[in-house]
Amino acid sequence: MNSPDRIIRLKTVLARTGLSRTTLYRKMGEGTFPRQVKISVHGAGWRESAINRWIADPVSYREELGV
């Protein structure tokens, strides 16, 4: 049985990736880091599975277009 994909917040993403906030958002803009998912009117996070994929291979990670 697959467990649902957790949504993790910015603080956790920064701690797990070692990136600065500025670098993280720049990489998102370039498509080389997973995009955020909206979880409320003022809140957003990242899918844990996407962050894990990026951590496993940050150099060749590319966001799938049209997702």
b/e burial code for range 5-30 (CB count within 10 A of at least 16 → b): eebbeeeebeeebebeeeebeebeee
Residue 49: per-residue pLDDT = 95
Does the reported pTM lie above 0.75? yes
Q: Give the pairing of strands 44-47 and 37-38.
A: antiparallel
- Give 10-residue mean pLDDT values along the chain (67 residues): 81 97 96 95 95 94 65
CA pair distance 60, 12, nearest whole angstrom: 22
Q: What are the residue boundaries of the structural domains of the chain, listed by start?
A: 7-56
